[in-house]
A and B are shown apart, each in its own frame.
Chain A
Amino acid sequence: MAGLAHPKTAPSAGLDWIPRVWNNRLVRTTLYQAVLFGGVIWMFAYFTGNAVENMARLGITSGYGFLDRPANLPIGEGIIAYTPADSYGRAILVGLLNTFKVTIIGCVLVTILGVTLGIMRLSPNPLLSGLVQTYIEVIRNTPLLLQLFFWYVIVRQLPAPRQAFNPLDGVFISNRGVQIPWLEADAGLWWIASALGLAILGSLAYRRMAMARQARTGEFTPVLPLALVLLLVLPALAAWLFSVPIIPTIPELKGFNFVGGTSLTPEFTALLTGLTMYTIAFVAEIVRSGVQSVAHGQWEAARSLGLRDRRILRLIILPQALRVIVPPMTSTYLNYAKNSSLAVAIGYPDLVSVVNTTMNQTGQSVETIAILMAVYLSISLSISAFMNWYNRRIALTER
């Protein structure tokens, strides 16, 4: 009784600091985190030790020395030169660049087509928005892998090389892919590419100036004509100055296959189509919800200024909708990059495909999985970093 009534009179022999410290928020959270951190470290050490021991017992060698050994792997396509005599390191690089290729082209396509689709979904025309809605539902509710197989089967139905469609001179469409004329890759091509880059930068800078001028004086300066001139003239000038031989190569059927030109392989085409068609359904929904999140009063206010709907959408609604759109778009791009590893199923030689084969041929599971994880982590973190930067840029700046 007395103890209950006067708890603090209990002789605590100088130990009353314990509850005081224990109840201190900082001490407690630090302690919890230290325990968790210690646990993670211990687990990591345990697994590593176990792995080393097991691999030693099974006689599995470890280390990254295999990266220098000749790979002997066949790889169907790549954007850098590769022969089977090259090293595993280079083979993995070829796979990585193939992953980049499908991801970068895909993200651009997905953005353009997805936004278009999202706006179509909002169309007042019930037929159009209904069609788009059906598309979105069908695509989002079937497994992506199935869709990739579907596209791969479709592209394989095209005729054999000897019966290829030949819609234009030098363009062939067959079950070996789409062959188109191309420019001979020559060192001088870099000059042309640089000139093109310069032209793009120049056009962007000019557009900025034009916009600043419009903001200042209200006068509108057209940008397109100058941009077109820059884009055409600069590369041509570079070609002439550095006398880069522009040798077009035209595909032609020789023996089994087409030689010359460049091609989109069935595997790449099916993967790009499948991933893009799948992802735009998600983007369309993101765009729709973003546009709908902008208060309707904005439309009405803009209309009362006499702007047409198209311009309202582009100049007033979309910029505001972007704040809602960008964060989920980040995860969409991330998903796209990660989904691209489904490539293995339809034979596109992406990073996962090459690394899996390397793992199989060398037995270096731990090392190869570490490479895969490191690469996907870097890709994901880069996309996140870029999107976070963009998100901050477009965030509402309060004045």
Chain B
Amino acid sequence: MVLKMVLAAAAAAAVLAGSGAADAGATLDAIKARGSFKCGVGTGTPGFHYPGSDGVWRGFNVSICRAIAVALFNDPNKVEFVPFTAQQRFPALQTGEVDILSNNTTWTLTRDSQLGFNFGPTVFYDGQGFMVNKKLGVKSAKQLGGATVCVQPGTTTELNLTDYFREHKLQFTSVVIEQVAELRAAFFGGRCDVYTNDSSALAADRSAATNPDDYIVLPERISKEPLGPLVRHGDDQWFDVMKWTVYAMIEAEEFGIKKTNLDSFANTNVPQIKRLLGMEPGMGKALGLDDKFAYNIIKTIGNYGDIFETNLGAGSAIKLERGMNDLWTRGGMQYAIPFR
């Protein structure tokens, strides 16, 4: 009882008591003074954010924060990861408990305005789906009338769920559990007929099931879920560092610059590449970073495609297609803003 309430009350109290932590530039200044920053992630989803058996955090969202650590300090370990449930994440960012969230949070109007956040580039274009046990013989979400649905509270997921069933005039019963590990156990244990989440998260959870082949993700995508990192209002420089770290990784992929072939570009005469990799000065400096920040990111972390493939794509157990997350030049939606 108390734990939850104390946490929530502490969060509120921290909003109450929080000093002027978010004066312009103050977050970035404090991070630089501390020599590291705090990144809020999920509690554990394969591919996206999970602690390895060695206690080291790994995953796609984790790589985004490590890339920011490289941009700032040229060291992927100058970041501390703090896990949150969907319910806990927003107060944690608002009150300054963490400096950034990189945890599959959907960019929405309310969060961007009323909750006081700024969203960075969408690093994963997603949509909400439904997963069911094959034994039920369900082929489409439209057949889900009367089903029991497992869902996480404090998410866009629960809102889209009620929208969808209202729109299609279907009844359902919900089981709402905050800890995603408990929620998965409830679904895989048969408490619910359906598990709904961002479809990428469904694929990730399915890959971790004892018998993944017993489950299918239904074809419908009932929402748009642009997932990306976010910071709180009030420090535009910090916001810029976050945005341009992501763009650097996408821009690198657009030019075919990978972790493995980075040094073959040492003698390039393409001006855009020279600016990106800091052979021509100015870009990093404009952000208050080292001019070689993008070079360092690609060297230590890789480009956008690298972190996608190793964590979520062919190099992982989840085997997601690039799909919408391919580069715009290949029919996808990932598109870097020009480095100039």
Contact = CB atoms under 8 A, between A and B. Distances in A.
Nearest to A176: B148
B230 to A, nearest CB: 13
A233 B104 CA distance: 61
B35 interface: no
Contact of A356 (B149, B154, B158, B191): B154
A59 B18 contact: no
Contacts, number: 172
Interface stretch (A71-79, A186-194, A282-290): A71-79
Given A254-B146, A339-B1, A347 B175 contact: yes
A360 B156 CA distance: 10
Interface residues of B, number: 63
A362 B165 CA distance: 22
Interface stretch (A46-54, A203-211, A224-232, A325-333): A46-54
Most chain B beta-carbon neighbours within 10 Å: one of A54, A157, A352, A356: A54
A50 B16 contact: yes
Interface stretch (B50-58, B86-94, B236-244): B86-94
B11 interface: yes
Interface string B170-184: 001111111100110
A338 B2 contact: yes
Interface string A257-288: 10100000011000000000000000000000
A106 interface: no
A74 B110 contact: no
Nearest to A158: B190
A360 B15 contact: no
A58 B234 CA distance: 7
Given A48-B16, A76-B173, A360-B90, A255 B234 contact: no
A288 to B, nearest CB: 26
Nearest to B9: A369
Interface string B106-122: 00001101111000000
Interface in B160-212: 161-163, 165-166, 172-179, 182-183, 185-186, 189-191, 193
Interface of A: 47-48, 50-51, 54-55, 57-61, 72-77, 83-85, 145, 149, 153, 156-157, 160, 175-176, 254-257, 259, 266-267, 338-342, 344-347, 349, 352-353, 356-357, 359-363, 365-366, 369, 372-373, 376
Closest CB pairs A-B (n = 7): A360-B154, A84-B162, A74-B174, A58-B116, A341-B1, A51-B16, A347-B177
